A and B are shown apart, each in its own frame.
Chain A
Amino acid sequence: AQSVAQPEDQVNVAEGNPLTVKCTYSVSGNPYLFWYVQYPNRGLQFLLKYITGDNLVKGSYGFEAEFNKSQTSFHLKKPSALVSDSALYFCAVRDWSNYQLIWGAGTKLIIKP
């Protein structure tokens, strides 16, 4: 079965420190992977995607993600966290059976000043 796992419900990071939000996936076929961010009571915003090519993908707001095929992971990273990065982050993978997205449960990122 195809699935996405975000093993951490919440991640706490001090401002200025690097941050990592973890995502692992299981999919039949080539993995198309995505990260989205959601601020409180708002819709989701697209951050970045991996389709093919370089394993390190750069996205919006200084975020990047590293695709690791052997570990079936697609962790979101940022070198220096900002308080404004505090939000809910979702990882998603494309389901090839119907071309829709399968979503992780989300990880709440809290950046403390």
Chain B
Amino acid sequence: DGGITQSPKYLFRKEGQNVTLSCEQNLNHDAMYWYRQDPGQGLRLIYYSQIVNDFQKGDIAEGYSVSREKKESFPLTVTSAQKNPTAFYLCASSGQGAQGAGELFFGEGSRLTVL
């Protein structure tokens, strides 16, 4: 079935470590997104990519990095520069037509906890 796969589902990190969250989609979507979700807050956009080899910073990009070398993949690295990385991270994608309409398809999320 088509969809978005995020891994790992749960991740624990020690302070000072970088971690990479995987996001893969087989929907043939051009656009991909990373959001951060904290309790009681809406989703906050970290990075987005509308095409391979191109990406833009969202509202809270500091301390994060991404790459988009393949259409199917959009990994997110949480670096040691991110001061409060404990959160639920959501990856999403949309097609060109859907991007214009805002219909996003989400993965199941990755929960990162800093020990």
Show the binding face of A for B, using Cβ within 8 Å: 4, 9, 32, 34, 36, 41-46, 49, 51, 90, 92, 94, 98-106
Residue of B nearest to A9 (CB): B40
Q: Is B40 in contact with A46, judged by CB distance below 8 angstroms?
A: no
Q: Is B42 in contact with A43, judged by CB distance below 8 angstroms?
A: no
Show the binding face of B for A, using Cβ within 8 Å: 4, 6, 33, 40-45, 48, 56, 58, 88, 90, 92, 99-109, 111
Contact of A46 among B4, B90, B104 (CB under 8 A): B104
A9 and B42 alpha carbons, distance in the complex (Å): 11
Contact of A105 among B40, B99, B102 (CB under 8 A): B40
Q: A100-B58, A105-B41 are in contact. Are A43 and B99 (CB under 8 A)?
A: no
Q: Is B109 in contact with A49, judged by CB distance below 8 angstroms?
A: no
Q: Is B109 in contact with A4, judged by CB distance below 8 angstroms?
A: no
A42 and B107 alpha carbons, distance in the complex (Å): 8
Please give the distance in Å from B37's CB to the nearest CB on chain A.
Answer: 9
Chain A residues positioned under 8 Å from B104 (CB to CB): 36, 44, 46, 101
Chain A: interface secondary structure?
strand
Q: Is A103 in contact with B102, judged by CB distance below 8 angstroms?
A: no
Chain B residues positioned under 8 Å from A105 (CB to CB): 40-42
Contact of B103 among A46, A90, A99 (CB under 8 A): A46
Q: Is B106 in contact with A45, judged by CB distance below 8 angstroms?
A: yes
Contact of A90 among B42, B58, B92, B107 (CB under 8 A): B42
Chain B residues positioned under 8 Å from A106 (CB to CB): 40-42
Chain B residues positioned under 8 Å from A43 (CB to CB): 4, 6, 90, 92, 106-109
Contact of B42 among A42, A45, A99, A103 (CB under 8 A): A103
Contact of A42 among B45, B103, B105, B108 (CB under 8 A): B108
Chain B residues positioned under 8 Å from A46 (CB to CB): 103-105
Q: Is B106 in contact with A49, judged by CB distance below 8 angstroms?
A: no
Q: Is A32 in contact with B108, judged by CB distance below 8 angstroms?
A: no
Please give the distance in Å from A82's CB to the nearest CB on chain B.
Answer: 22
Please name the 7 residue pairs, one residue from A and one from B, whose CB atoms are nearest each other, closest first.
A43-B106, A103-B42, A103-B43, A44-B106, A105-B42, A43-B108, A43-B107
Please give the distance in Å from B41's CB to the nearest CB on chain A.
Answer: 6
